[in-house]
Amino acid sequence: MRWIILDTETTGLDPAYGHRIIEIGAIEVVNRGVTGRDFHTYLNPERESDAGALEVHGLTTEFLSDKPRFKERADEFLAFIEGAELIIHNAPFDLKFLNAELLRIGREPVTNFCSGVTDSLVHAKNLHPGKRNSLDALCDRYGVSNAHRQLHGALLDSRLLAEVWLAMTRGQDSLMIDNFDVPETEGVTANEQRLEALNLPIILPSAEDLQAHENYLAALDKAAKGACVWRQYEAVQK
């Protein structure tokens, strides 16, 4: 199972009015593990950002003026998402812009390159009807630190969404042990017997797995400027 958690920043709200993508950030998740692979690029939109959009992302025309055009990074981006399921918060917005950029260079829609698209905003609304389900609200709800997030950024938001998405979908990895019809016996619960019946192997992480995990935690810890709770927990345990 390969997911690409994706976000974009744009010059405005609608490509029909000539607005363009100025940043793409995407994080790879394989079998519910963040691999450390990502795709990130700033893009020269060859136009100004609307004032409202600029307040959100802070990416000025001057900053973007020497960045590549979308067509210069398109092949690398499409190769990165090839065959994966895209996880996007408010997916119609990002897809609309990505498809407009691809159309400009004579390429097929983004869904022709990936295995599917899941809108994490729709998923959140189904889980929490009537609640606020913005990325910031979900970070608060699931205990994901976003204290360092002053402006929106595609890569940072993708990293936050990856944590939120894994938290939101954690229950979907159930072993479905209720499918085993095992009666309780004295001193042993039915659930314990069901778990024994599964005969699950114990797979320990390799040294490479442990190092990749440590590298990921260190990167998140650095981005959060030391505010991450797992480091505080480790300090207490030591």
Q: Which of 19, 148, 152, 213 is catalytic?
A: 152
Q: Contact at 8 Å (CB) between 45 and 64?
A: yes
Which helix (H) or strand (E) covers residue 100, if one does?
helix 91-104
* CA 147 centroid distance within chain: 18
The HSE-up count of residue 26 (CA atoms within 13 Å, CB side) is: 22
Q: Provide the 3-class DSSP secondary structure of residue 238.
A: coil
What are the structure tokens assigned to 107, written together? 């390429």
> Could you confirm whether 213 is annotated as catalytic?
no
Q: Looking at this protein, which amino acid is placed at residue 168? A: M
CB atoms within 10 A of CB 49: 23
Of the candidates 56, 76, 39, the one whose C-alpha atom is nearest the C-alpha of residue 153 is 56
Catalytic residues: 152
